[in-house]
Amino acid sequence: MTAIRIMHLLDAIAIGVGLLLLVMLAGGLSPADAAVLSAAHPAGPLSQTLMGILGAGFTTFPVTRRLAYRHLIAADNLAECDDVGQALQRLAMQQRVQAGNLYLVDLPEDSILRAFDGDEGGVWAWLAPAYADPALRRQFDPRLLARLDAIAAG
């Protein structure tokens, strides 16, 4: 799962738990009855207040997390992180081109076909993003580029 999907899942869980606590509080459940449904069992007169605070906190967690993230992290840092991420991605694509030039140029035709016809696209799934970039495509060895053109066409 990607990080975004995990955060959406955590947001949904937080909202669900928060709404459950607020419904239990609004429904007039005593803390002893609520303990059957929730993991926490605070004792004493503060338990209703604590249940309300936790319910409100969990329910509003996704919104407060997003607002706090924007205000606590400077936009310049986010832009710099994005630039660094893009530069690292370009380096990874360049390494794919170099690896293709080094290892795939001299392979026999049947080996190339087996390599590019593997599970989930084989080597083509790995090389296709570099092949799709015109600047990187010019850096492929001409013999490998001819093979890649044939594979992309057919």
Q: Which two tokens stand for residue 114?
A: 């087996």
Q: Where are the domains of the chain?
A: 3-72, 75-153
- H helix intervals, the chain: 3-26, 31-37, 47-59, 61-72, 75-103, 109-116, 122-132, 134-137, 142-153
Write out the chain's pLDDT in tens, 154 residues.
577 788 888 889 989 988 888 887 777 666 566 555 555 544 455 677 888 888 888 898 888 888 877 777 666 666 777 788 889 999 999 999 998 888 888 888 788 777 777 666 677 788 888 888 899 989 999 988 888 888 778 6
Q: Which two tokens stand for residue 41?
A: 């069992």
